[in-house]
Amino acid sequence: MEGEPFSWERVHPIFSWYHTGKVNMTYESVDRHVLNGKGEKTALHYISETENWSLTYRELQQEVSRWSNVLTASGVKKGDFVFVFLPKHPHCYIAMLAAINVGAVVGPLFEAFMEEAVRDRINDCEGEFLIADSSFLSRVHREEIPSLKTIFTTDKETGDADISITKEAEKADDEFETVWVDLEDGLNIHYTSGSTGKPKGIIHAHRNMIQQYQTGRWVLDLKDDDVYWCTAHPGWVTGTVYGVFAPLLNGVTTVIHGGRFSAEAWYQVLEKAQVTVWYSAPTAFRMLKAAGNKTLNKYDLSSLRHILSVGEPLNPEVIHWGVEALNLRIHDTWWMTETGAQLVANLPTRSIKPGSMGRPIPGIEVTVLDEGGEELPPFETGHLAIRASWPAIMKEVWKNEEKFKSYFPYGEEWYIAGDLAYLDEEGYVFFQGRSDDMINSAGERIGPFEVESKLLEHPAVKEAGVIGKPDPVRGEIVKAFVALNPNYKESKELLEEIRLFVRGRLAAHSAPREIEVIQELPKTQISGKVLRRELKKGEIDQAG
């Protein structure tokens, strides 16, 4: 229907609930495909240093059913919170799908979380159930989490847990009667990355699938034969929405890679699994770039056809690297834990403007507002705002109505992201920084992103984080923290060269007055985002 404005209702008929009235995310992600004759297709392909195996959609359905039977027999009911604390492994996917299958709200925890991160999250929503790897259990201090009733382990030995879910599953029936829910019922709880402060517990509903499926098609460009790899762990919202839901809703083959980041290992996964669509983050692309073309050229990556990025500003330099090294454009996408799915993106067939995150996808309206809530004309920076509502928007901030309301400071019409941006005359969105990260130096407002991107164009700079350092005269001065590429040594001359490099290419007021070399930039654990607030705190502490 060319010409007619897109409406999300047009997506509904692909789901079985549209025809039957019975809703469940797991059913739509797994069972529906088996019923539609896709049972023998590979759903999950697991690759680690020592393992390489797959599960078809039918095998996944059977395994999820067995685990669902164990969960139900162990007292897990609709609406309960089930936390999942597992490495990147098919068990993690099966656990999440089984929890959803029995009507529970799943809370995936990042595999590297330490005691307090685990405790605070489960305590926040008084979670009763946990499915964990036994080697992670030393980080679960049960006596500090009084709500916790049952711990399942994925090991065959029960150990410190109460039930071995894998052992029980062996005896369980491989058929399960899906627990039906409403589109509005709770699906998952995700804590935000904590880039700007205490993580918020965001509750999402089953209706999210509408947008998650459709963005899988439009933005990830998933087609029947694709082999898709999202590098994020499900503990970060990207790893759940675009690692588990979107690819399974689209019925493609999903690659799961266990293990830590290394350029060699990642290129091996791309080659071995013949990945066609790849979704990762700027920090990973920057590390691959730093690893050099010699490493890259050892691998045959010719299966790749579409690459995407999320989570942080995608520096133009990284896009240029993609085109040169991989012969592909990297497509930026923007969304938040709270938005539940992508809202702004570079669609595969559209032009990319490096430095821009792309345009709002169909069905989404974006604008930029000033401090008073008035819409700003193109090229003026203000608060990035999205017209409410859309199918994947959060259901609530857990036990924090105030916080939920804070996303709507100008009324119900506009959701305020907390990011600063401007639009160009064609509606491309240019991210400038988080509202909290804006630098105010001698009356000039400077977004850290532009300065960081310029720094990255200098051959010596591997990574950069830019902040406003408190200054008695200017209010703030632009201060850059940089990590250097392996072949460069810190020297006064080099830092001056970098400073002049930015000054000559951006503007005098945006050039960092101070540059400090550090080994590594502080980053969020789950999503690898540069923690500018940490850098800034260090400066403020130093100033006393």
Query: Binding partner of residue 316 among ligand ATP, Mg ion, none, CB under 5 to 8 Å per kind?
Result: none
Cα–Cα dist 384/376, whole Å: 10
Residues 410-429 that bind ligand ATP (CB under 6 A): 417-419
The span of 288-296, 329-337, 498-506, 515-523 binding ligand ATP (CB under 6 A) equals: 329-337
Does 48 contact ligand ATP by CB under 6 A? no
Residues 53-92, one symbol each (x = binds ligand ATP by CB under 6 A, - = not), give: ----------------------------------------
Is the separation of the CB atoms in 345 and 323 below 8 Å?
no
Residues 8-27 that bind ligand ATP (CB under 6 A): none
By C-beta, is 154 or 238 nearer to Mg ion?
Answer: 238
Query: Binding partner of residue 205 among ligand ATP, Mg ion, none, CB under 5 to 8 Å per kind?
Result: none
Instruction: Provide the binding-site residues for Mg ion, judged by CB under 5 A.
Output: 192
State the minimum distance, in angstroms, from the CB of residue 48 to ligand ATP. 25
Token couple for 301: 């990556």
State the minimum distance, in angstroms, from the CB of residue 365 to ligand ATP. 18
State the minimum distance, in angstroms, from the CB of residue 393 to ligand ATP. 13
Does 283 contact ligand ATP by CB under 6 A? no
Query: Binding partner of residue 312 among Mg ion, ligand ATP, none, CB under 5 to 8 Å per kind?
Result: ligand ATP
Is the separation of the CB atoms in 480 and 516 below 8 Å?
yes
Q: Which residues pair with 433 in a beta bridge?
A: 420
For residue 360, which amino acid is it?
A: P
Alpha helices of 440-524 — where are they, by DSSP H? 448-457, 492-505
Cα–Cα dist 203/187, whole Å: 7
Size of the site for ligand ATP (CB under 6 A): 26
State the minimum distance, in angstroms, from the CB of residue 75 to ligand ATP. 32
By C-beta, is 192 or 240 nearer to Mg ion?
Answer: 192
Among 266, 334, 407, 415, binds ligand ATP (CB under 6 A): 334
What is the DSSP pairing of strand 81-85 with strand 105-108? parallel
Query: Binding partner of residue 310 among ligand ATP, Mg ion, none, CB under 5 to 8 Å per kind?
Result: ligand ATP
State the minimum distance, in angstroms, from the CB of residue 537 to ligand ATP. 14
Query: Binding partner of residue 434 among ligand ATP, Mg ion, none, CB under 5 to 8 Å per kind?
Result: ligand ATP
Place of tokens 């789901």: 15
State the minimum distance, in angstroms, from the CB of residue 240 to ligand ATP. 11
Beta strands in 112-177 (DSSP E): 129-132, 150-153, 163-164
Does 113 contact ligand ATP by CB under 6 A? no
Does 311 contact ligand ATP by CB under 6 A? yes
Does 240 contact ligand ATP by CB under 6 A? no
Residues 519-538 that bind ligand ATP (CB under 6 A): 527, 529
> CB neighbours (10 Å) of residue 168?
18
Place of tokens 């509750």: 203
> CB neighbours (10 Å) of residue 400?
14
For residue 26, which of 83, 67, 54, 55 has the smallest C-alpha distance? Answer: 67
Residues 178-197 that bind ligand ATP (CB under 6 A): 192-197
Query: Binding partner of residue 39 among Mg ion, ligand ATP, none, CB under 5 to 8 Å per kind?
Result: none
State the minimum distance, in angstroms, from the CB of residue 339 to ligand ATP. 8
Cα–Cα dist 41/33, whole Å: 9
Does 99 contact ligand ATP by CB under 6 A? no
Does 312 contact ligand ATP by CB under 6 A? yes
For residue 252, which of 260, 261, 243 has the smallest C-alpha distance? Answer: 243
Which residues have C-beta within 8 Å of that of residue 205, sequence separation ≥ 6?
A: 183, 184, 185, 186, 187, 395
Is the separation of the CB atoms in 96 and 240 below 8 Å?
yes
Does 434 contact ligand ATP by CB under 6 A? yes
What is the DSSP pairing of strand 461-471 with strand 475-484? antiparallel
Output the residue with the shortest Cβ distance to Mg ion: 192
By C-beta, is 383 or 499 nearer to ligand ATP?
Answer: 383
Query: Binding partner of residue 447 among Mg ion, ligand ATP, none, CB under 5 to 8 Å per kind?
Result: none
For the chain, helix, strand, coil in percent to 5 are 35, 25, 40
Tell me the C-alpha to C-alpha distance, in Å, between residue 22 and each of 15, 19, 181, 340: 10, 8, 7, 22
Measured in whole angstroms, the distance separating CA 371 from the mean position of its chain's CA atoms is: 28
Token couple for 169: 């599953």
Query: Binding partner of residue 334 among ligand ATP, Mg ion, none, CB under 5 to 8 Å per kind?
Result: ligand ATP
Residue 238 CB-half CA count within 13 A:
24
State the minimum distance, in angstroms, from the CB of residue 347 to Mg ion. 24
Place of tokens 């159930």: 129
Cα–Cα dist 245/272, whole Å: 23
By C-beta, is 240 or 527 nearer to ligand ATP?
Answer: 527
Which residues have C-beta within 8 Å of that of residue 331, sequence separation ≥ 6?
A: 219, 306, 307, 308, 309, 345, 346, 347, 348, 352, 358
Does 243 contact ligand ATP by CB under 6 A? no
Does 250 contact ligand ATP by CB under 6 A? no
By C-beta, is 71 or 314 nearer to ligand ATP?
Answer: 314
State the minimum distance, in angstroms, from the CB of residue 88 to Mg ion. 23
Token couple for 286: 């920057």
SS3 225: coil
Q: Which residues bind ligand ATP (CB under 6 A)?
A: 192-197, 199, 237, 310-314, 332-334, 336-337, 357, 417-419, 431, 434, 527, 529
